[in-house]
Structures are given as structure tokens and as C-alpha cells.
Amino acid sequence: MTRSASPKQIAASLTELWSPRVIAEVDDAYVKVAKVQGTLGWHAHADEDELFLVLKGVLRIEMEQGAVELAEGELFVVPKGVRHNPVAQDECHVMLIERKSTLHTGDVVNERTRSLVEQLRPV
């Protein structure tokens, strides 16, 4: 890759909610951005950690042992195997770093689930 990318600008340009898009690769991981609002749904990733970095807005990540609220510029890693539910009351833009094997909605398939093919579409 010989050009730079702005995760903030790419996330802001997205038109679909809860539909992550791959913007870069780092070794065995994808860097993704998404525009979110509302609730994604409870799920877990049995074998992968998941990093959330808030680019704009506020994101609450509910977990069975409590919740964490992230403001713009803050990040949190959901450890592998931890059931979680990302929630954004208002529009929020996030960057995610996940292993390439990570399924979008983990062990749950619902109306918000996006395949890897969908996530790899050009932005």
C-alpha cells in the first residue's frame, strides 16, 4: 500500500450502520471501521480478542461482569470468550482491530451479521 488512509474520514463516509469495512491489514489482523447506532447484540468470540477504538461519539460495551463506556479517542479490548454487546445511543464511529478469523457477530448470526466478503467491499 502506497497511500495513507484516514479511519475517521472513511467511517464518516459509510452509509450502513453496523457494517464494518476493512481498511487495512496488519499481519494476521484486519483494521476495520464502522458507523454504529443502537445495539449490535450479545455475542462472544471464542478464540479472538477484539479491540474497539472510538473515533467519534460514545460507545458502551456491555459485558456480563459490567460495562465500559468509551469516549472519543478511548479504546478497550474485549478478551476472547467474553460475551459482550456494543451499544451506541447516538451515532458513533469506531475502529476495530481483529484477527482475520474473527466473525463479525461471533457465535451469533442475526440481521446485523456481515460476511467477510461484505466487509472487504471497497469503501
> 52, 58 in Cβ contact below 8 A?
no
Q: Which domains does the chain have, with CATH numbers?
A: 7-102 (2.60.120.10)
Higher-confidence position of 114 and 60: 60
Q: How does residue 31 score in pLDDT terms, banded at 50, 70 and 90? A: very high
In the prediction, which pLDDT does 87 show? 97
Residue 19 CB partners (closer than 8 Å, separation 6+): 34, 35, 114, 118, 119
Q: How does residue 36 score in pLDDT terms, banded at 50, 70 and 90? A: very high
Distance between CA 103 and CA 60 in Å, rounded? Answer: 20
- Taking only the tens place, the pLDDT of each residue in 1-25 is 567 889 999 999 999 999 899 999 9
Q: Across residues 29-43, what is the average pLDDT? A: 94
CB atoms within 10 A of CB 72: 14
